[in-house]
Structure 1
Amino acid sequence: MDIRKTLDELDVLFKKRHYNEVESFLLCKIKGAEKDNDSNSIITLGNELIGFYRTASRHKDSLALGDYLISLMKEMKLEETEAYATTFLNVATAYREAGRIDESLKYYNDVLKIYKNTVSEYDVRLASLYNNMSLAYYDKKDYEKACSLIEEALLLVIENKDTEIKEAISRSNLALSLLKMNKVTDAIKHIEKSLNIFEKAEEPRDFHYPATLSSMGEAQYMLKNYEKALDYFTRALIEIENTIGQNSYYASICHNISMVYDKMNNSEQKDKYESIAEAIYNKLKE
């Protein structure tokens, strides 16, 4: 299989926003790679599919595929390699997104051990690891630890070239913990820089963009600027629906919009968005 050509075809699907075709495309290519005993292509494409499942909140599928890839890589005796670490990082994030935080941190720490033996201390891949680890600590409500990890990530991406999107992601993640620590002014500074980078980027924008819009909505909500909060939350919803569709994060933002309408004494809209959120959560449980 010409894996570079296959990944280019996948990029075209994303750029054209043909998200409903991504799963079938990847499954077909993986089946072809299995038929050809092309394990390297299976691993590469499997990692892409894990990311797709994770973003779509299909946690059972992402975890099952991750376990399969790890088993395959062990059969290939690829432990302690950079490729193994990359898959571990992807699987760790799948566990985090599924709410299995302690398991995700175990995988993240395994990745860190491999990276320390295989990559430079200035390698930008460490920034991606620190960003993901920070979100696990964020989920554990250890916001100080989350901030320290993201600050390390920021130092790395700023020192490297062509890492503007990674900088935007790092600043967006840092803002999440700052908001939880009630450091709203500091959070807004990072969110504004992040949004500025995302909005200058070519379409389609990184999927972290709607998360950053949502963070600004949360910041404005905390400042009691409810009209502004509603605007940012609504923009985030539109971005998500135009990309991956109605996932768990979409439901979460609907819940936030419901809270805004509650503060604005609009019970009809409050109930509407809370119902949407509940319906999505229930569907994802099926």
Structure 2
Amino acid sequence: MELGTVYEELDGLFAEGRYGEAEAFLRFRIREALREEDLPSALSMWNELGGFFRVQTRYKEGIEAFKNALEITLRLGLRVSEQEATIRMNLATLYVASGQNEQADSEYEQAAWIYEKQHIRDYRLAALQNNRASLYLKEKRYDLAMENAKAALSSISGTINNEDELGVTNTLLAQICTAQRDFEKAGVHIAQAEAAFSKLDSPNPMHYAVLLSAKGQMLSMSGQWEEARLCYESSLPLIRRHFGKNLSYASCLRNLAVCCRELQETACGEQYQAEAEKIEKEQRYERA
């Protein structure tokens, strides 16, 4: 299978927003690769499909895709490889998103063990440490979250072309500080994240959307509702343009609804709330 041609066609489908066709195309290519016993191509396509499901917030299907990718990795003799670690990190991310935190922590632990064996101590380790910090933040284990985020900062200190991971790490540190109601430190990390992303010609849209949401969260928790609303309003089109109306989009709408209610703009808040609920229903998402 000529992967260059495959990716070119796939990119065209994504660029035109033809997501259903893109999924069907990936599944067809996987069947073709398996029929021809072209395991490297099948591995690439399973990883691509898993990433597609992650963006679409179809977490259960994404987990199955990455499990298939992991199986092929082991069949190819790539045990204890960077490829295995990357797939385990992707699996962990989806486990976190679907509320399976124990499974996520196990996958992160195995990925960390592989990185240690492979002596990987750069931005890749920082990404793993940030992911673990994000999990601990979700579980309100703030000390562990801070420990891992600071370790990530240490992993990328002094490296070149580290702006994206630097922005991600400072965004995460801001979220942890906000959760601990240390808004002064949160503001410092927000500013550092903004400075890092500003050095990139094209910042990762999801990373920048998360930064805007983190800033909105900090501002709303400190009672600055109008400024928070502006952040969420800036984040919303980024998510929609690059990922569609997924659960992240719905979460942003809910945050906007809260801002509107606090600003006594009831009708606007109800509109945002209704749209968020509609998306969640379409995604078959049940709030805890």
> What TM-score comes out, normalization by structure 2 length?
0.90
User: 1:41-60 residue pairs with structure 2 within 5 A?
Assistant: 41-60=41-60
* Contact 2:197–2:203, Cα closer than 8 Å, also in 1: no
* Contact 1:248–1:284, Cα closer than 8 Å, also in 2: yes
Residue in 2 that maps onto 1:227: 226
* Contact 1:80–1:114, Cα closer than 8 Å, also in 2: yes
Q: 1:193 to 1:19 in 2, by over 3 A?
A: farther
The reply on whether 1:27 has 2:27 as its aligned counterpart is: yes
Cα RMSD after superposing both structures: 2.2
The Cα shift of 1:58 comes to: 0.6
In 1, Cα distance between equivalents of 2:85 and 2:204 = 26
The reply on whether 1:141 has 2:140 as its aligned counterpart is: yes
The Cα shift of 1:38 comes to: 1.6
Q: 1:4 to 1:119 in 2, by over 3 A?
A: farther
In 2, Cα distance between equivalents of 1:238 and 1:82 = 34
* Contact 1:195–1:213, Cα closer than 8 Å, also in 2: no
TM-superposition CA deviations, 1:195-245 (whole Å, max 9, x none): 233344334733111111011111111222211111100111111011101
The Cα shift of 1:117 comes to: 0.7
Count of residues paired in the alignment: 284
239-248 vs 199-208, which moves further? 199-208
* Contact 1:92–1:108, Cα closer than 8 Å, also in 2: yes
153-162 vs 75-84, which moves further? 75-84
TM-superposition CA deviations, 1:121-141 (whole Å, max 9, x none): x33211111111111111111
Amino acid at match of 1:166: E
Amino acid at match of 2:60: K
Identity of aligned residues (%): 27
Residue in 2 that maps onto 1:189: 188
Q: 1:204 to 1:170 in 2, by over 3 A?
A: closer
Residue segments in structure 1 that go unaligned for 5+ positions in a row = none
Amino acid at match of 1:180: A
The Cα shift of 1:73 comes to: 2.8
* Contact 1:19–1:244, Cα closer than 8 Å, also in 2: no
* Contact 1:198–1:206, Cα closer than 8 Å, also in 2: no
Residue segments in structure 2 that go unaligned for 5+ positions in a row = none
The reply on whether 1:160 has 2:153 as its aligned counterpart is: no
Residue in 1 that maps onto 2:118: 118
User: 1:1-286 residue pairs with structure 2 within 5 A?
Assistant: 1-3=1-3, 6-7=6-7, 16=15, 18=17, 20=19, 22-120=22-120, 122-203=121-202, 205-285=204-284
* Contact 2:130–2:169, Cα closer than 8 Å, also in 1: yes
